[in-house]
Structure 1
Amino acid sequence: MGRPLDILHFSLHGLIRGQEMELGRDPDTGGQCLYVLELVKALSRHPDVRRVTLVTRRVSDPKVSTDYAKPHEDLGHGAEIRRIDGGPKLYRRKEVLWRHLDAMIDNTLAWLRRERRMPDLIHAHYGDAGYVGRQVAAVLGCPFVFTGHSLGRVKRMKLMESGMDGAEIEKRYNLNVRIESEEMSLDAASFVVTSTHQEIEEQYAMYDQYAADRMRVIPPGVDLSRFDGEGDAEVVASVAAKLERFLLDPQKPAVLAIARADERKNLAGLVRAFGGNEWLRENANLVIVGGNRKLIEDLAPGPRKVWMELLRLIDDCDLRGNVAIPKTHGAAEVAGFFRWAAERGGVFVNPAFTEPFGLTLLEASAAGLPLVATHDGGPRDILANCENGVLVDPFDPVAIGKAIEGILSEPTHQAALAAQGAKAVREFYGWSSHVNRYLREMRKVLPMMNLPVVPVVERVGLAECERWIVMDLPSALEGESEEMMGRLRGVFEDGTIELGIATGMSYERAMGMIERLGMPLPSFVVSRLGARIDYPRPGAVARDEVWQRQISVNWRREEVVKVLEGLHGLELQPEAEQDALKVSFYRDDRSGPRRLEVQRKLREAGIAAKVLVTAGRYLDVVPVRSGKDVALRYLMHKWGMDASSILYFATLGSDAAVMRGRMLAVVAGNSDPQLEILTERVRLRYSEQTGLAGLFEGIEAYGFLEGKKPPGPDDTLSSDHETVSVEELLP
């Protein structure tokens, strides 16, 4: 069996709590949130699991429950929810949070260090969590697992097919950065958990870094206990009261749909199917549970549009007395809706245009309802396993209506499908079978890493100090005046502030330059863009061997060279500039390939790596778990350095990734133009002055020498629309 496991799951968007989930409240609080919560609970009940945590974003907003502001929620059996600060305290849709995810990385690492906790595996759900989870895993040196749930390339294709303009899609959904985050999550993943084979073949296969051998189909489980017995009497009565007040004859067979009020769920298509079928209008009732609403005018634009169309169709089809549309419901009542429909010999319908999995189909089957479901996505696998219904074209309301009629018009057939589904869903989709398969796959990747995780130690051999200045060594330093260099040396004289170096040059070249300029001995040097970490001492140096082994995993240097050597506009740099963990090229800034083109070329060859461009003329390829940013986070985590006590002086393009988190950042006035794409925020300052004068301009603005309290995390978003470029956030 091995030692009990410690697992972290990341699911950042939406509103997640242990009880009374507000499913359908908005597009971000849907089936993914419930799946991850139930998975965490199910894992905690397995004897091989010691501890499992669901990490999500903390939200403090008067418009939502105070439950979501609690940093910790105990779920029992070693399971918990941990809410981490990251960006605005207010509740915001996932598309506008990208710039704030680096703060979540830093805050998550700080929490783990406080708890002296080293997880065995990190599993991220969706592209935003992939952005955070893969970088936390890179720092800790543990395996990373990814589940996309809904993928950006698929969403963009569907939106384009619907006629939406490409520029408007990007403005609204930030799909470019989401897709690139998904690609990098696939780069870093030890394996990818999917729900269905169709998801692999028609969705993940669209990605450059798709690798069939890392795909694992593990269908989600469902809490079947909710459908055992007759149900809570109070809930049964409440559900009946909410539905039957709409209906002239509540005993007719029910056509039930439960989904968010989202255009992709195609609830309007179901109303058209029902209203256009004479047999259904005469012999059945339609029940649509489309989330909670009080006043339609208070809903978000998307749900408001859906409900306005539903109400118009109900009126156009003259369905009053034949359709129930309850305004509100609690989480416990969802099972009650299924049970109510099953008792009346009904059918459950999922008419969505696209359905990655279809958790409600499992719940309906467990309750004893036959299925009519879209032929897109997960329903294919579910109906193949359960054999309890019919697949339909979601764009054909006539076919949907006939499929429903075909089941309800033959009660014996309806009962046989209901019994078959209730039996099969327990065989194929119980949580115990899901968890057992999940843990088998997880055990396979643990030995593959074969690495000591980052030791959480106190500072031994690393200088104790209050604050840090970290910088590269740009060639312009050699031209600084002696007065300015003397001022820089003076910053470090009393020992309260220490120097750290993060550079692309070799350790030997860096130390030679430091000696020539008379700079103080740094406490650490990150060299070769993160390929190496050293701790210099007078007359000696200690290399961080744990870091070396950690970033070497799955690095294929020879294949990188083979794929890129000879590419037009790239030329290998001399051997002195190369490293076992870095491949360096000169890039023609007029005809050379763009960073994303090189990244795509490597992905097409199945190579996971990071591509970095500096000053437009230098292109470097490093391991996917390397980079200045990851190396500095590793140091902070290992030695207990607070990110807010570090000032980073940025001059080169390779500094971009470092500047996105909780460190204070200063950009020199003559810095690489590549740094100009970063959006200014409270812990990022663009100096007007050049060189070291720009550094001191930032130092004075922050009050850094005086130990002034740093500005708080950026807590504002002026708009619910915030377009983010790929170049700004990745790599």
Structure 2
Amino acid sequence: MSNSSGLYILLVSVHGLIRGKNLELGRDADTGGQIKYVLELAEALAANPQVERVDLVTRLVNDPKVSSDYAQPVEVLCDKAQIIRLNCGPRRYLRKEVLWPHLDNFADELLKHLRQVGKLPHIIHSHYADAGYVGCRVAGWLGVPLVHTGHSLGRVKHQRLLEQGTKPETIENNFHISTRVEAEETTLASAALVIASTHQEVTQQYGIYDHYQPQRMVVIPPGVALERFYPIPENWQEPPIYDELKRFLTDPQKPIVMALSRPEMRKNVNTLVKAYGQDSQLRHLANLVLVLGNRDDITTMESGPRQVLTEIFQLIDRYDLYGCVAYPKHHKADDVPELYRLLVKTQGVFINPALTEPFGLTLIEATACGAPIIATSDGGPRDILAACNNGMLIDPLNIQQIQDALRTALTDSEKWQHWSTNGLNSVRKNFSWDSHVKHYLEQVQQLPQRRVQSLLSPLPQAPASRLPDWNVPEQNRLLTADRFLVCEIDNTLLGDQEALQRLIERLRTEGDTIGVGIATGRNLDSSLQMLEEWRFPMPDLLIVSAGSEIYYGPQVVTDTNWQRHIGYRWQVDEVRQAMQELPGVMLQPPEVQSKFKVSYFIDEEKSMSFKEIMRHLRRRRLHVKGIYSHNMYLDLLPIRASKGDAIRYCALKWGLPIKRFLVAGASGNDESMLAGNTLAVVVGNYSKEIEKLRSYPQVYFSQGQYAWGILEALDRYDFFGNLYATEPEMIAV
């Protein structure tokens, strides 16, 4: 990879089969135009001198049913771009609709990758709703601007399916549409920039979303690879794919009407076949070529493509179109530009009859080869035809319009030539990747002024408007820190203003490689309020509610994987009911309760002992962890949750040895993080229940109180230097 100075751009496209060569476009519903878009975008960005590195991150697939190419962790595309494949659920190839439960793990794997890179990307650019879900989390955790491209939208698809008569429950079962729409809403709320392909996409498609914010949206049409899609050269010869077409055609010399798409209901190819089959003049004028992905045995295909192809074959039979319709079973990516040139050679026309088309990459590819185009009036083709003036728009459900448009293109040679010339002259100006990247980078340069507060962890008690008043770092240090200081808030970090200010100054002047976190029994709102009151800089890591919640700054994004992990066998209602049976316990106020923490006041004169309370809960078969502090506070958590467990989870997640965490506390609430292999300090004003840790060799009891004790420990452990007592053989999680 190049070491030149410039932008580091991270592209995320989770689903489908992505590789640098021989794209299997049309193999299935997930391996279509988006795959081609992100691959060509990565290569085009890498070719720009302002860009240092491009990582295209996707899912690793290790499945004997697909090529072993998709199981390679790294594939170099060019000097500055590569495909990075990360684990995401099962190794086998899965359609995108069933990937949702695995996306949190994919986000964690992406963090590990960035940790290995050792630097923050300047932007994260997500593609489609699933990558938006991942991108929101990772960008929010790191404080990196998120750019998003939707490609197609769930609300629009839902509307179309309902209009076609599909039952709502069928839509939900097959497409998990509510999950997808929720991810899209969150992405729109969090993204600093949304890149759309057309103005119709911005106004009519994104416009139906609750978080529609057009001021953050920009139209940058996709580019076309002009080095592959170009007019017929002087030395051009008939391509091998032509021999495949000749097998179907009685008179292969006739002009070609060609449609190229996946076999998907939305592509509306069946209506095209009806229009052609019902018009004897069209059948006389031209052959129809249908390039509909790749297939071996139609009976083994998924139900959607199988249904589409079956209907098309039935229509071919009904209208007796044998000899004038070609529908090859296989084609390669390198065949596509040759098919367009063959179409031009025969004075044919390219048609996209889709019910809706977000953009239409095939239209600009055909245009770049000199082909006139006829396309649906719904979506991106409007912008393409407006820019290139090289064809006609049609109502995709109006058979008569389709027939008339095709007849015009095939019989008016002067208009055909006019359209062909217009397209060739306009496509390079409006739809080249060089032009796309130029506008793309212009927008990226403005992103530092367009940062937004993530809505992934809504804070009703802590208004987002409060956050900008703090000393918030531009980016999180979770990727670059090689050690971490994690402190309890009460009676540890806070309590002495002079000591706190001295600590802040030392971290600013000496702590370039140090991440800072808090681990507290307080809830998130209370923690943020206390930090603000004491003017402590926004931490990189927030472990709150006694270790039952983890957030990452500066945008305070929740770690959903941690919640899923600790939710194991957590029965909060049963815990509350069991505690009602005991004397001397009283629930603390509602504002200190949370989904994974139930907190009580304990009256030691009336209640049974802490050990007896925990035995009572165990007898009820409740998997609960209890934390007792200051002889009066009891927190009940899931069995997997505690401050110590949360710190170790973060250490594993971020790839940082636990020996590089210096933790500071003062009470029994802190015991789980002080004990173990962390570097630990108990500040001088500690509670007596933690005295038992004095015999632990790795726990330092300081003389200084509050932050003075933390400062004392920084020197004790040489925390800004070589980390005393962390010899190489001991640095392991």
Is 2:52 the counterpart of 1:119?
no
Q: What is the match of residue 45 of structure 1?
A: 47
1:350 pairs with 349, 352, 370, which one?
352
For residues 296 and 395 of structure 1, the distance between their equivalents in structure 2, rounded to whole angstroms, comes to 26
1:631 maps to which residue?
552
CA distance in 1 between partners of 2:27 and 2:436 (Å) = 27
Please point out which of 471, 475, 478 is paired with 1:453: 475
Rg larger for: 2
What CA distance in whole angstroms lies between the structure 2 residues aligned with 1:186 and 1:370? Answer: 36
- 2:229 paired residue number: 227
Call closer, same or farther: CA 1:10–1:233 in 2, change over 3 Å: farther
* Preserved contact between residue 534 and residue 543 of structure 1 (Cα < 8 Å): no
Could you say what secondary structure the match of 1:373 adopts? strand
Contact kept? 1:101, 1:131, Cα under 8 Å: yes
Report what 1:478 is aligned to: none
1:169 CA displacement: 0.7
Equivalent position of 1:466 in the other structure: none
Match of 1:291 in 2: 293
Q: Distance in 1 between matches of 2:122 and 2:234?
A: 40
What is the alpha-carbon distance in structure 1 between the residues aligned to residue 98 and residue 183 of structure 2?
A: 14
**Pick from 429, 439, 442: which aligns with 1:440?**
442
SS in 1 for 2:446: helix
Q: Deviations over 1:531-581 (max 9, x none)?
A: 857999xxxx99553549xx9xxxxxxxxxxxxxxxxxxxxxxxxxxxxxx
- Rate the CA distance shift 1:339–1:51 in 2: closer, same or farther, 3 A: same
Q: What is residue 641 of structure 1 aligned with on the other side?
A: none
Q: What's the CA shift for 1:462? A: 3.2
Code of the residue aligned with 1:167 in structure 2: it is E
Shift of 1:30: 0.7
| 1:477-503, Cα deviation, whole Å (9 max, x unpaired) | xxxxxxxxxxxxxxxxxxxxxxx98xx
- Greater shift, 222-231 or 319-328, is seen at 222-231
In structure 2, give the amino acid aligned to 1:240: Y
Q: How many residues align?
A: 549
Q: Deviations over 1:392-417 (max 9, x none)?
A: 01111221011100110112211221
- 3-state DSSP class of the match of 1:159? helix
Which residue in 2 is equivalent to 1:529? 524
Unaligned runs of 5+ in 2: 452-471, 496-516, 577-593, 597-619, 628-635, 654-733
Please, which moves more after superposition, 255-264 or 109-118? 109-118
Q: Distance in 2 between matches of 1:376 and 1:664?
A: 47
**1:634 to 1:507, Cα distance in 2 relative to 1, 3 A:** farther
Matched, 1:462 2:485: yes
1:691 aligns with 2:624: yes
Over aligned residues, Cα RMSD in angstroms? 3.7
Equivalent residue letter for 2:625: L
Amino acid at match of 1:524: A
1:578-593 → structure 2 map (5 Å cutoff): none
Aligned-partner SS, 1:6: strand
Of 64, 67, 72, the match for 1:65: 67
Indicate how the Cα distance of structure 1 residues 89 and 313 shifts in structure 2: closer, same or farther if over 3 A, else same.
Answer: same
Alignment of 1:241-256 (within 5 A): 241-256=243-258
From 526, 534, 538, give the equivalent of 1:545.
538
Does the 8 A contact of 1:186 with 1:209 survive in 2?
yes
Aligned to 1:657: 560
Structure 1 Cα separation of the partners of residues 490 and 197 of structure 2: 47
The Cα of 1:509 is off from its aligned counterpart by 12
Deviations 1:218-274 (A, max 9, x none): 011010111336479999431111111211111111000000000110110110111
Q: Relative to 1, partners in 2 of residues 1:508 and 1:534: Cα closer, same or farther, differing over 3 Å? A: farther
Q: 1:372 to 1:105 in 2, by over 3 A?
A: same
Q: Note the C-alpha offset of 1:276.
A: 1.2
Which residue of 114, 133, 146 corresponds with 2:148? 146
660 and 343 in structure 1: CA distance in 2 versus 1, 3 angstrom threshold: farther
**1:533–1:544 Cα contact (<8 Å) kept:** no
TM-score (normalizing by structure 2): 0.69
Deviation at 1:454, TM superposition (A): 2.3
- Per the alignment, residue 393 of structure 2 pairs with 391
2:570 aligned residue: 668
Q: Is it true that 1:282 corresponds to 2:284 in the alignment?
A: yes
State the Cα deviation string for residues 261-316 of structure 1 (Å, max 9, x = none). Answer: 00110110110111111211111100000000111111111111111111110011
Deviates more, 1:348-357 or 1:274-283: 274-283
Query: Is the Cα contact below 8 Å between 1:72 and 1:82 reproduced in 2?
Result: yes
Q: Secondary structure at the match of 1:692?
A: strand
How many Å apart are 1:711 and its aligned residue?
14
Equivalent position SS for 1:454: coil
Contact 1:23 1:29 in 2 (8 A): yes
1:149-548 equivalences in 2 (<5 Å)? 149-228=151-230, 230=232, 236-449=238-451, 451-455=473-477, 456-458=479-481, 460=483, 462=485, 524-525=519-520, 527-529=522-524, 532=527, 543-545=536-538, 547=540
**Amino acid of the structure 2 residue aligned with 1:668:** W
Partner in structure 2 of residue 8 of structure 1: 10
1:115 and 1:528, CA in 2 relative to 1: closer, same or farther beyond 3 A? same
After superposition, the Cα gap between the structure-2 partners of 1:247 and 1:406, relative to the gap in structure 1 and judged at 3 Å, is same
C-alpha distance 8-527 of structure 1, shift in aligned 2 (>3 A): farther
Distance 2:123 2:104 in 1: 20
SS at match of 2:334: helix
For residues 152 and 448 of structure 1, the distance between their equivalents in structure 2, rounded to whole angstroms, comes to: 26
Q: Provide the secondary structure at the position in 1 that maps to 2:76.
A: strand
Question: Which letter maps to 1:670?
Answer: V
CA 1:660–1:160 in structure 2 vs 1: closer, same or farther (change >3 Å)? farther
Work out the CA distance in 2 between the residues paired with 1:350 and 1:184. Answer: 32
Which blocks of at least 5 consecutive residues in structure 1 are unaligned? 464-499, 513-521, 552-581, 583-613, 615-626, 636-653, 677-686, 713-731
Distance in 2, Cα, partners of 1:342 & 1:142: 46
Distance in 2 between residues matched to 1:30 and 1:395, nearest whole Å: 23
Distance 1:206 1:248 in 2: 49
User: 2:369 and 2:304 mapped to 1: Cα distance?
Assistant: 30
Which amino acid counterpart does residue 322 of structure 2 have in structure 1? Answer: R
Assess, with a 3 A threshold, how the Cα gap between structure 1 residues 111 and 544 changes in structure 2: closer, same or farther: farther
SS at match of 2:83: strand
**Residue 115 of structure 1: how far off its partner (Å):** 1.8
Per-residue CA deviations over 1:670-718 (Å, capped at 9, x if unaligned) read: 3599979xxxxxxxxxx94153279899569xxx99x99x999xxxxxx
Letter aligned with residue 311 of structure 2: E
TM superposition score normalised by structure 1: 0.69
CA distance in 2, matches of 1:531, 1:214: 32
CA 1:531–1:109 in 2, change beyond 3 Å: closer, same or farther? farther
SS of equivalent residue, structure 2 residue 114: helix
Shift of 1:177: 1.1
Q: Which amino acid in structure 2 is aligned with residue 545 of structure 1?
A: M
Q: What is the letter of the counterpart of residue 453 of structure 1? A: Q
Structure with bigger RCO (C-alpha 8 Å, 6+ apart): 1
3-state SS in 2 of match to 1:63: coil
CA distance in 2, matches of 1:406, 1:238: 30
How far is the alpha carbon of 1:391 from its aligned partner?
0.5
Give the secondary-structure state (helix, strand or coil) at the position aligned to 2:156: helix
Judged with a 3 Å threshold, the aligned counterparts in structure 2 of structure 1 residues 348 and 459 are, in CA distance, closer, same or farther, namely: closer
Q: Is the 8 A contact 2:540 2:554 kept in 1?
A: no
**1:325-373 deviation per Cα after TM superposition (whole angstroms, max 9, x unaligned):** 1110111001111111110000000000010000000011011111110
- Separation in 2, partners of 1:284, 1:239: 18
Q: Distance in 2 between matches of 1:385 and 1:144?
A: 29
Which residue type is aligned with residue 631 of structure 1? Y
> Partners of 2:480 and 2:5 in 1: how far apart?
23
Alpha-carbon contact 1:689-1:697 (below 8 Å) kept: no
Specify the code of the residue in structure 2 equivalent to 1:529: L
* Cα distance, 1:372–1:382 mapped onto 2, change above 3 Å: same
